[in-house]
Amino acid sequence: MTVTSDIRRREPAPGDRPLPQNGRPPADERPVEFWPTSAIRAALETDDLAVWQRIVAAIKRDPFGRTARQVEEVLETARPYGVSKALSEVLSRTREHLEANEREEVARHIRVLLEHSGLGQQEFASRIGVPADDFAKYLHGQTSPSAALMVRMKRLSERFGRMRAGRQAGEG
């Protein structure tokens, strides 16, 4: 009995790229935000600084987005990579920075509401039912109020803003 091999070499498809000299597959050229988690994992296993920088840039663009979540998942479930500590730090710092910016944006909005109302800080705080010290922390972006409290502030500001506008129209 003769056994023959019917294995043929596959010709490269038009989209196939040869492996680079280092034997590793080339990095995915799509934006990192479109990579599957397996590609993120593979990228962290390499020592390719350019690929790591692309991942870091994606995390900085959206610290709570898909790529950030994928990196978190990979870091939680895989052996530690040389870049693990650095990426954990990037995640932490970019999220802290984003949250500080968001608190400042909320503070600017609260200052606009306060100004529109025409009330003083203590009066405004009293009418929304919070201690003046807490309201001052909102104004300075140290903490953020709940969504319900933001709605309450908006309603108060609109009510007193209309009253002010009515008085000014009556005087004019």
Here the CATH number for the domain that contains residue 155 is: 1.10.260
Domain that holds residue 154: 98-162
Tens place of pLDDT per residue across the chain (172 aa): 554 444 444 454 444 444 344 444 455 788 999 999 999 998 888 878 899 999 999 999 999 999 999 999 999 887 766 788 889 999 999 999 999 999 999 999 999 999 999 999 999 999 999 999 999 999 999 999 999 999 999 999 999 999 988 888 777 6
3-state secondary structure (DSSP) of residue 34: helix
Is position 172 within any domain?
Answer: no
122 and 153 share a domain? Answer: yes
Q: What is the pLDDT of residue 62?
A: 95
Q: What is the per-residue pLDDT for 81?
A: 67
Specify if 22 maps to a domain: no
* pLDDT (0 to 100) of residue 80: 67
Matching residue, tokens 């908006």: 154
Over the range 147-159, which residues count as b (16 or more CB within 10 Å of their CB) and which as e?
Answer: eebbebbbebbee
Query: Quick one: 103 and 154 in the same domain?
Result: yes
User: What are the tokens at 151?
Assistant: 């709605």
In b/e form, how buried is each residue of 1-33, taking b as 16+ CB within 10 angstroms? Answer: eeeeeeeeeeeeeeeeeeeeeeeeeebbeeebe
What pLDDT shows up at residue 164? 87
- Residues 106-152 pLDDT 10s: 999 999 999 999 999 999 999 999 999 999 999 999 999 999 999 99
105 Cβ partners below 8 Å, 6+ apart?
A: none
Quote the number of domains for the chain: 2
Question: Of how many residues is the chain composed?
Answer: 172
Amino acid at 128: I
Q: Are residues 102 and 151 in the same domain?
A: yes
- Asked if the structure places residue 87 within a domain, the reply is no
pLDDT at position 93 = 97
- 69 and 104 housed in the same domain: no
Helix ranges restricted to H, 62-83: 66-77
> Given this model, what pLDDT does residue 36 score?
95
Residue 111 lies in a domain: yes
- Claim to verify: residue 34 and residue 68 sit in the same structural domain: yes
pLDDT score, position 27: 58
- Whether 62 and 107 map to the same domain: the answer is no
- pLDDT at site 47: 78
Is residue 109 situated within a structural domain?
yes
pLDDT at 37: 93
